[in-house]
Structure 1
Amino acid sequence: MFLMFPVIQGREAGWPIGTIALLVAAIPLLWAFVLVERRRDRRDGSALVPPALLRQRSFVIGLVVLLIVFSTLASLFLVLNYTLLTGYGWSPMRTALTGLGFPVGIFLTTGVAQRFATTHGRTLIQMGLTVMVAGMVLLILMFTGEGMAVTIWQLAAPILVMGLGMGLCVSIVTAVVLADVPPHNAGAGSGVTNAVLQLGAAVGVAIVGAIFFSLLESQDFPDAAGTALWYSAVIIALAALLTPFLPAAARVPQGAEA
């Protein structure tokens, strides 16, 4: 709350002193949580988040990748739907049809990702993120190049490409991130990843939403959407660059070796 409320409401409220105070207070509160967890771990091993878990490089980098992927997933359709519904005046049906390629793309590639997750998981995630960046750049070029004259098909094609990329990684990324976590920390690791997924969605909407609505004060809808989406494209590219530090593949389920 101390972090998310200021990020979401700060710009709209004009950054009053109370909002800034909440944001600043988030830092010592986070540090206090770290100290408490270290003390509990030393005392009886009952830490909610074992410190050893956060000293594992592949897991920590994996959390960053998860945060980026799910922040982008949440914020993408905030910008897209608001632009098409409000800026372009498209109907809800037309807007929905424009984005239909995203779940279709996920459906088409998810089976491939799940089939090869235990042998080429990291490679699939890197490929998926790279394809997502390509699709997002195409979407940005459609907005900024065609402006208000853009057609449903000019937007639907790059959205389908993004869906194909997302399908290659979204269903297996958590399993790959957790692959090197020791069995005795598996429960804590799973809990932390789920928390990061929720945080990623909230952070993505907050940050990209703040950028987008700030841009609308000086730009038209197509340019504001394109500029805001550059943020998402850049951080997805960063996630792709981090994938070599992930575990090579998801752990083979017990009993599957036979």
Structure 2
Amino acid sequence: MRSLPAPDLWTDALPTATPPPDMAIYQLPTGTYETRAAFAIRGGSFRDKRQFAATAILVQHPNGDFLIDAGFGANVAAHVAMQPRFARAPFQTTRTVREQLDDSGYDRTRLSGVFLTHSHWDHASGLDSLDLPIWMNRGELEYAAKDGDGKVFRAVSPGHEIREYSFEGPAYLGFSASFDVHGDGSLVLALAGGHTTGSVVAFVTLPSGQRYAFIGDLTWQLDGVQRRVERPWLLRTLADSDAGQVRQGILRSAALTELMQVVPAHDQRAYQGIPLLEGAAR
């Protein structure tokens, strides 16, 4: 398994963040689908079956709560059927984001919207059962409107208010531009690009000082960051809009692993330590 060159670890000061004391995050796992490691990471084994996570993150903040991604929706079977035949995989569902919010007693009027790390089906499916604004940048809106992999997004987004944001902030932890959602550094979106035109990394800083980097699909599994390995050539060709940008994003993420918890969207192991919502967020 050939690795990318080791990047220099991040040694500059971390960006300033002043999260409010009652800020918190929770994971909302909505299901998994099966993929062979051979299709997920360069040099992976065909015998190694990986259960790809479809998990949303709830970020609670007194100025407005947000979701990062939406997981599987109520109509996920139809969404899988919309994929090219080669991309369909066996899947299992638990409860949708909406069901988990409601079962916990969470007041959904607190939600200000959802940020998609990107608009592919396994991040957008759950929008079919959520009535809330979708926040997206111009590059991702244009990608989702035209690309074949935006088909599910185009099916589930009608009726949602689209709120466009722009990257008016400075470079952030090696990424070229940023958007500070609350203005306090607690939730910052950084433009990553490469997997899709406007894909982002969502950086979260908690009052405890714990930091997270939700890197979407820069890599599908932790192996990509820990061993600095890309997707196999065929999957890079099929899945990524700019493999070179993805490569740089992997290296930027790898440089941060000693400073924060780096979370590839589809690796269940990466969510370790993030509490489930259940009855905690009333």
- Same fold flag (TM > 0.5): no
> Which range, TM-score by smaller chain?
under 0.3
TM-score normalised by structure 1 residue count:
0.24
Higher relative helix content: 1
Higher relative strand content: 2
Greater C-alpha radius of gyration: 1
